[in-house]
Amino acid sequence: MALNNTGQDYGSLAKFFHWLMFLLLLGAIIGGNLDAAMPDGPEKAQELAIHKSFGVLILMVLSLRLLWKLSNTQPAHVESIPRWQATASTVTHWGLYLLMFAQPLSGILMSQSFGYPVPFFGLFDLPMLVEENKAVAKLVHEAHEIIWILLAAIATAHALAALHHHFVRKNDVLRRMLRRV
Residue-wise pLDDT for 60-75, tens only, equals 999 999 999 999 999 9
Superfamily classification of domain 12-178: Transmembrane di-heme cytochromes, Chain C (1.20.950.20)
- Give per-residue pLDDT as tens, 90-109: 999 999 999 999 999 999 99
What is the predicted pLDDT for the residue at 129? 96
User: ∠ at Cα 17 (14, 160), nearest 5°?
Assistant: 85
Is the distance from CB of 101 to CB of 58 less than 8 angstroms? no
Residue 158: pLDDT over 70:
yes
Is the distance from CB of 112 to CB of 118 less than 8 angstroms? yes
pTM of the shown model: 0.93
Sorted by where each begins, the domain ranges of the chain are: 12-178
- Give per-residue pLDDT as tens, 116-148: 999 999 999 999 999 999 999 999 999 999 999
Q: From CA 64, how far away is CA 17, in angstroms rounded?
A: 8
Q: From CA 143, how far away is CA 65, in angstroms rounded?
A: 24
Q: From CA 18, how far away is CA 22, in angstroms rounded?
A: 6
The contacts of residue 76 (CB under 8 Å, 6+ apart) are 7, 8
Listed in sequence order, the DSSP H helices in 38-133 are 42-70, 83-113
Is the distance from CB of 3 to CB of 11 less than 8 angstroms? yes
What is the predicted pLDDT for the residue at 180? 67
- 25-to-18, 19, 85, 139 alpha-carbon distances in Å: 11, 10, 25, 22
